[in-house]
Structure 1
Amino acid sequence: MRKQFARVVLWLFLLGGPAVYAQSGMTDSQVIEYVQQALQQGKDQQTIAMELLSKGATQEQLLRLKSQYSGAATSGSSSQAGEGGAVQDTGTRARKTTVANATDGEAALEGANTDEMKETMKKRQKLKVSTASENGVFGRNIFNIDKLTFQPNLNMATPENYRLGPGDEVIVDVWGASQNTMRLEVSPDGYVNIANLGPVYLNNMTIKDARQLLKQELGKIYADSANNIQVTLGNIRTIQVNVMGEVRAPGTYALSSLSTVFHALYASGGVSDIGSLRNVQVARGGKTIARLDVYEYIMKGLIQDDIRLQDGDVVIVPTYDELVKITGKVKRPMFYEMKNGESAATLLKYAGGFSSDAYKKSIRVLRKDGKEFSVKTVDDIHYSAFKLIDGDVVTVDSILNRFNNRLEVKGAVYHPGVFELSGSLNTVRQLVEKADGLLGDAFTGRAVLYRERENLTKEVLPVDIEGILKGTSPDIALQKNDILYIPSIHDLQDMGKVTISGEVNKPGSYTYADHMSLEDLVITAGGLKESASLVRVDVSRRIRDPKGTTEPDMIGQNFSFGLKDGFVVDGEAGFELQPYDQVFVRRSPSYNEQVNVTVDGEVLYRGEYTLSTKSERLSSLIQRAGGVSRYAYVRGAKLRRVANEEELRRMEDVVKMVRREIGETLATSLGLKVDSTFTVGIDLEAALANPGGDADLVLREGDVLTVPEYNNTVKVNGAVMMPNTVSYAKGKSVKYYLSQAGGYSANAKKSQKFIIYMNGQVAEVKGSGKKQIEAGCEIVVPNKTKKFNFATVVSNATSFASLATMLASLATMMK
């Protein structure tokens, strides 16, 4: 009913708020009665809200009633009248928790149910979390781990020895002849007040004793023998605990009354660098009531010493007595806090024992005796008797890096590897048989046995492996660390490789085999390419003379062969290759791939064309493209060419020189780099007028010829007042066009003006320049400079057809 009443209030908000639709008002009881009746009649919340508004109910009245009902639904002390006047509890039985199922400090903060406990968790979160390391003290970080808070489970069964105090809530359930539930809070004076009975003193009583007392007292008013009475603990109080001594944040902490010593240590940030984990003390009423050893919990999981704290308890962490370090071959090398009288055996147990490669016969102890250092060697039989003191450093050494029964066989056996020297395996013959015998390519004339002497030097013993296996030579007894090497015949012969290059599908080096022919190698290399010459295959061979005593005049042999269908048809019959031979399959001089060029712009048939001859020229290309269109500006035609390797190398040299002159920063900002193409200055008009003449350039692969439309403008650039583009006027001088750009600037170098034409050609201005000016050209006025430098050239780079053109021009000058 309460939830439905709340929904009615919500609908009232949605339907118009505080407006009143009727003059007469309704009392609170009338509103509640009306809502109950309407719900029983099956009306929805919207209809009920509309009817209440029409009857004079107000928003303030409904909000007040909703608040009262909501408070009654959530209050722990609210109840509903039941049969026979019994009171039935409707609140939750779950205790308010400091942290509900928390696994870290953030959850602990969210779960804290008092301001004091929230403040405690905030302080704890500010403390830096430490982790265990080799130079840390074992166990010290246990109270610095956010995931290990030691928070008590507040919804567990109430411990019988739990002592009640002010703020605790006691829940009393009565059932049987009578039914009632009472939630009673212990007052600051230690009493709970029971209706019809009066105050009952419960302070500092265990829950067990309080249960007996309340059953006795309640029996006075619930005297019927059919009644049952149960007493449990409800919400619990917060206690104040002082954490003192060597902790990271000593102080007073507000904790749950179910908290233990470990949780108090966690709240205070854990033990400090000089604090003890082995002797944590709890003082109550001026007396020490418990001493805790944290190592017992870490090592064995024992928590019986982790006692529950009470209000006013003091947790004291004294300084450590002994701190000992263990290094070397143990599972957990680090510092450990030891109690007086604990032995080396106990330290080894704390460190997790020896690692697998530890030397276990003895350990070394470095000790400070008050005056100087001393070293003590402790044998394994004395580990339990040797007592450690503060400052000891225990070292566990590693076992020796050697073997006491190792044999090895290498080379031409089926299973080379390491074997055990034993009673059944202690001779050369037995070792070979253990390796499953010799391979077919084993060289049996002589094997080698490498042996280690007592002084750890090496010696080599020859072995007649064939004689030993046949029984004609005596077997050789083996010793530890012997290595038997049985060579292969291939190891003793330089078989080498043969190499094939040129026009084959898979050029490279291949393993030599006896009786390998030229045809065999060609087939192994994937056969001949389409471009291979069948009349010229060359073979070069080294000169070998192991018994020679003079330097020969001949340094190599060369052979030539002709092939047909992959077989030798011309040359030395029965020719066989030898190790390190090199085979060269030549390219046929009559083989040529297509060489393509492109023509674009104002021609009839633009696109790609394949050159017919190596000497084909511009005029031939225009003719094959159907000639130029009537809109073509032939004098402005330009040729774009792909740079070959030599041209690219020269342009790279120019770029490097320019970068040194102007600096890397300016060169980078200008985008100075080598382009793979550049513009060639041409005169297509002259080439078409005189085919085959000097102006008719020979084309090469990748050339792009562009014939533009007529462009009747002239650009003026460089050291002028206002760079400009103006209309071309035939017969006008350079001065005319400069005036269109505002004339020269103050730093103009008037005598070195030049003109860049659309076709990529450049010309120096002579005289008035009337006859030099053409449509589409660009007039450039350079800046004055005291001396020539590349910065000046690059600063005018935008005036060129491209930066690559400038580099190509400079590269040509550097030839």
Structure 2
Amino acid sequence: MQKALFILLIFLQGIVLGQLNVSNIKELGITSEQDLQKMGLSSSEITALKQQYFNGELESKKNIPDLSKNAELNPKEETKIVLPVPNIKKEKEDSSKTFYGKNIFVNGSVHIQENSDRIKAPHNYILGSGDVISVVIWGTSEFSGTFKLDEYGNITPSLVGRISLKGKKFSDAQKIIKSAFARVYDLRNSKISTEISYSKVINVSIVGEVTSPGTYSIPSINSAFNFLSLAGGVTDLGSLRNIKIIHADGNVDELDVYKFLNKPEIPDNKYLNNGDFILVPTMGNVVSAEGVKRPQQFELKSDETLSDFLIFAGGVSQKCFDGTAHIERLTNGGVKIIDVEKKDFSTFKLQSGDKISFYEIDESVLNSISIRGSVVSPGKYSYIQNETLKSLVERSGGPITASLLSVGHIYRLNQNGTRDLIRVDLNKMFNSKKPNSSPVLLANDIVNIFDSRKLEENHTIRIAGIVRKPNNYPYSNNMLLKDLILIAGGVKENADLTKVDIERVDFTNGENGYVKVIEVDLNTMDDFELKPYDIVNIRRLPEFSFQQVVSIVGEVKYPGNYSISGKSENLFNIIERAGGVTSEAFLEGGYIEREEDSVGLVVIKIGDLIKSQKSKYNYLIKPKDIIHIPKESNIVSIMGEIGYTAHSKNGDTKISCPYSKNKRAGRYIRNYGGGFGKNAKKYNVYVIRQNGLVEDSKFFGLIRPIVKKGDVIKVEPKKPKKPKTEENRIDWNRTIESLSVKITGLATFWVLAQQINP
């Protein structure tokens, strides 16, 4: 069995380490599985190595460039190294379910350095074959050269001789180079600079719990962190505390990521050599936490305590109590709660599966006292033992002008959470000189100084009626009636100042509905004082109106617009004011167009009106009336359905003819209108007089009206007959049948009636 395992390990090391042969294995001293255990590998890690070997996960990357043959490097001939980038899908996870430190390899925190980058080697970088060093001297002596370490790790500058640098830290190599060059060059008066211009390319195999295990070829300037990042980081099962770096010479280093995360100033970069491999084992103890600054899962070593854990977790959250940690530990009998006091944090060891909790602190303020309301600076203040209310008010800046000092409140907290109210006469407290006049305050007291402005209702007052700005207005103390009128923009010209009504609320008299009306004459009383909620009504002057205009047109001497003089002015007065009618006025005609109440046309007989003011046509004039006095005319117009076929501009058939005294409308139609038209309704002839009257034909249209001067004769057309349709045609067969049925029914009814009454 041991021989078979030994052969397996030889093949495993040959594939993983790439360039190592059987003699290398022997140099490592690995002859059995126990040798690997002595190197620090656990059984599970050795099993993982064997599984990865049989699954083909340890195949070396091919086509690795060999730079060892070049004595000096020409930058133009540098071979580009392609770095495989694992395809890692990033998902946003709950912080309480993530592992602390594992995202360092996958979120861009670790940068892979290439030789195309400007290399700045750290002081603990280990030199080896393939590294290229540049040396520059300036000052009294000058020198510049680039040297590649040969297979033995030596450089050989001219004049200086061979310098062995293999396995040296870069900081030590700088001192060795300076000492060697000082034997040839004057470095007392010159300065020397030694830098790495090209880092050797090494092959390193990564196995265990990483996303993409395999062999990677990158410049050796990259540390173990860079290699792990290149492999996609550690898996969810992988350890961050016990990463093994197995060197080709058999030495084993351990990489603790937590140590780097919490103390990055301490150099712990593990630099590798060609043929090394990195083993990431599974996690050890895992704990979770709440109430800490990093509420995540953590991997702990077996000897680490609660204090060590708090360093990784960033300490206890500011909102939580740090005096006690509450541990939920899973045992065979169930979950057990362990409370650990702060003094025991450094000795209490955690176990895998522990859940650490720190409880939140009650945010209630313990040593406060509050003052609110009408003081200069209300708010929370620190409690001072035996402080009086007067002292606290003074600390808060004192009361303001609007403070209500007749009473103040103190709300005192009881043990059951309720509060008692304590009343204080603030006037008495401030004016008294006795030391005990002000009550002593206790912690958590709340003091309230009332604002008198907030206790008063915003009183209003209203003015309505004949003022320029009727509205509600804020009430002010000592406001007079004349002040309110002035605020409202003053009264209008038609306001009656002898009768101003004030409707006042009387809160003391409920029997009369609390409202009383006060009548004020402003001409005799201009200092009337108002009260809140008063309603002031400014009335209009009785029967007052501004100028109201009527128009008179036609046959008067002075046609135009006239203002009505009083409410009783009549038509006769208006015609007289217009100079009377002219000699051409048609005394039998005239009319008024009245807009008021939509009356419309009002008939006038001017002749009757002129003869007597008592004429029934002497109407009272209304605003906006238009009075028409027509001109006498000896022309008669005929229109409508007449034989005359000429049309006026508006489309009507119309003809005018001379007036003949006492002739009826039919004569004018026959003599001047060409007779009746074919569609004329001969019995519907009427006459329109100049005063708007309409006179119709009488005695079934046979006696037509007598025509007067200026009349218009109108002949109406017949109504168009509706065309007969199938619906309105009479069905005589159905009519006769229906009639027969009705007659038969009546006859039957009559016979029955005769039999009942013989």
| TM-score, structure 2 normalization | 0.50
Alpha-carbon separation, structure 1, partners of 2:174 and 2:321: 62
Q: 2:741 maps to which residue?
A: none
Provide the secondary structure at the position in 1 that maps to 2:126: coil
Structure 1 residue aligned with 2:247, among 274, 284, 287? 284
Structure 2 residue aligned with 1:394, among 329, 349, 356? 356
Report the CA distance shift for 1:206/1:434 in structure 2 as closer, same or farther (over 3 A): closer
Shift of 1:149: 1.6
Runs of 5+ consecutive residues of structure 2 not aligned to the other structure = 1-68, 548-592, 597-648, 655-719, 724-758
Alpha-carbon separation, structure 2, partners of 1:283 and 1:300: 24
Alpha-carbon separation, structure 2, partners of 1:351 and 1:571: 90
Structure 1 residue aligned with 2:279, among 316, 328, 337? 316
Alpha-carbon separation, structure 2, partners of 1:344 and 1:265: 29
Provide the secondary structure at the position in 2 that maps to 1:247: coil
Structure 2 residue aligned with 1:155, among 107, 119, 126? 119
Q: Is the 8 A contact 2:405 2:427 kept in 1?
A: yes
- Give yes or no for the alignment of 1:381 onto 2:334: no
Alpha-carbon separation, structure 2, partners of 1:288 and 1:134: 38
Provide the secondary structure at the position in 1 that maps to 2:405: coil
- Equivalent residue letter for 2:261: I
Provide the secondary structure at the position in 2 that maps to 1:352: coil
Q: 2:205 maps to which residue?
A: 242
Report the CA distance shift for 1:309/1:461 in structure 2 as closer, same or farther (over 3 A): same
Q: How does 1:167-182 map to 2 (within 5 A)?
A: 168-169=131-132
Report the CA distance shift for 1:242/1:466 in structure 2 as closer, same or farther (over 3 A): same
Report the CA distance shift for 1:553/1:252 in structure 2 as closer, same or farther (over 3 A): same
Q: 2:565 maps to which residue?
A: none
Alpha-carbon separation, structure 2, partners of 1:388 and 1:280: 21
Shift of 1:686: 6.8
Structure 2 residue aligned with 1:457, among 408, 413, 418? 418
Shift of 1:614: 13
Q: 2:99 maps to which residue?
A: 137
Shift of 1:308: 0.9
Provide the secondary structure at the position in 2 that maps to 1:326: strand
Provide the secondary structure at the position in 2 that maps to 1:477: coil
Summarize deviations over 1:458-515 as a string: whole Å, max 9, x none.
Answer: 2212223333334477432222111122334444443534467999999986543212
Q: How does 1:62-81 map to 2 (within 5 A)?
A: none
Provide the secondary structure at the position in 1 that maps to 2:221: coil
- Equivalent residue letter for 2:445: D
Report the CA distance shift for 1:463/1:140 in structure 2 as closer, same or farther (over 3 A): same
Q: 1:428 maps to which residue?
A: 389
Report the CA distance shift for 1:271/1:288 in structure 2 as closer, same or farther (over 3 A): farther
Alpha-carbon separation, structure 2, partners of 1:489 and 1:158: 75
Structure 2 residue aligned with 1:417, among 379, 386, 401? 379
Structure 2 residue aligned with 1:403, among 327, 341, 365? 365
Alpha-carbon separation, structure 1, partners of 2:540 and 2:271: 96
Q: 1:678 maps to which residue?
A: none
Report the CA distance shift for 1:287/1:574 in structure 2 as closer, same or farther (over 3 A): farther
- Give yes or no for the alignment of 1:578 onto 2:539: no
Report the CA distance shift for 1:336/1:553 in structure 2 as closer, same or farther (over 3 A): same
Structure 2 residue aligned with 1:446, among 382, 407, 422? 407
Q: Identical aligned pairs, as a percentage?
A: 26
- Give yes or no for the alignment of 1:271 onto 2:234: yes
**Between 291-300 and 490-499, the greater mean CA deviation after superposition:** 490-499
Shift of 1:362: 1.9
Alpha-carbon separation, structure 1, partners of 2:204 and 2:317: 43
Shift of 1:322: 2.3
Q: 1:146 maps to which residue?
A: 108
Alpha-carbon separation, structure 1, partners of 2:275 and 2:594: 108
- Give yes or no for the alignment of 1:296 onto 2:249: no
Q: Is the 8 A contact 1:158 1:232 kept in 2?
A: no
Q: How does 1:353-752 map to 2 (within 5 A)?
A: 353-423=315-385, 425=387, 427-471=388-432, 474-498=437-461, 511-518=474-481, 520-521=483-484, 527=489, 543-545=505-507, 548=510, 553=513, 573-581=526-534
Alpha-carbon separation, structure 2, partners of 1:406 and 1:174: 71
Alpha-carbon separation, structure 2, partners of 1:503 and 1:689: 57
Summarize deviations over 1:746-789 as a string: whole Å, max 9, x none.
Answer: xxxxxxxxxxxxxxxxxxxx9999xxxxxxxxxxxxxxxxxxxx
Report the CA distance shift for 1:483/1:235 in structure 2 as closer, same or farther (over 3 A): closer
- Equivalent residue letter for 2:323: K
Shift of 1:309: 1.2
Q: Is the 8 A contact 2:244 2:254 kept in 1?
A: yes
Q: How does 1:241-260 map to 2 (within 5 A)?
A: 241-260=204-223
Summarize deviations over 1:359-417 as a string: whole Å, max 9, x none.
Answer: 23323222222442122222222222222222222222232232332222233333333
Q: 2:298 maps to which residue?
A: 336
Alpha-carbon separation, structure 2, partners of 1:578 and 1:378: 74
Shift of 1:312: 1.9
Q: Is the 8 A contact 2:289 2:356 kept in 1?
A: yes
Report the CA distance shift for 1:423/1:535 in structure 2 as closer, same or farther (over 3 A): same
- Equivalent residue letter for 2:424: V
Shift of 1:430: 2.5
Summarize deviations over 1:144-183 as a string: whole Å, max 9, x none.
Answer: 2225426377533586863433x555779999xx999987
Q: Is the 8 A contact 2:482 2:526 kept in 1?
A: no
Provide the secondary structure at the position in 2 that maps to 1:444: strand
Report the CA distance shift for 1:259/1:437 in structure 2 as closer, same or farther (over 3 A): closer
Report the CA distance shift for 1:118/1:475 in structure 2 as closer, same or farther (over 3 A): same
- Equivalent residue letter for 1:349: I
> Which structure is larger by alpha-carbon Rg, 1 or 2?
2
Summarize deviations over 1:589-617 as a string: whole Å, max 9, x none.
Answer: 9999xxxxxxxxxxxxxxxxxxxx9989x
Provide the secondary structure at the position in 2 that maps to 1:254: strand
Q: Is the 8 A contact 1:331 1:351 kept in 2?
A: yes
Alpha-carbon separation, structure 1, partners of 2:530 and 2:653: 61
User: Per chain length, whose mean CA-contact separation is higher, i.e. which structure has more relative contact order (CA < 8 Å, sep 6+)?
Assistant: 2
Report the CA distance shift for 1:451/1:279 in structure 2 as closer, same or farther (over 3 A): same
Q: Is the 8 A contact 1:403 1:480 kept in 2?
A: no
Shift of 1:262: 0.9
Alpha-carbon separation, structure 2, partners of 1:301 and 1:191: 31
| TM-score, structure 1 normalization | 0.47
Summarize deviations over 1:536-570 as a string: whole Å, max 9, x none.
Answer: 9998857342674x6x557x667899xxxxxx956
- Equivalent residue letter for 2:361: I
Q: Is the 8 A contact 2:386 2:441 kept in 1?
A: no
Q: Is the 8 A contact 2:247 2:272 kept in 1?
A: no
Shift of 1:263: 0.7
Provide the secondary structure at the position in 1 that maps to 2:268: coil
Q: Is the 8 A contact 1:278 1:294 kept in 2?
A: yes
Aligned length in residues: 476
Shift of 1:212: 13
Summarize deviations over 1:632-657 as a string: whole Å, max 9, x none.
Answer: xxxxxxxxxxxxxxxxxxxxxxxxxx
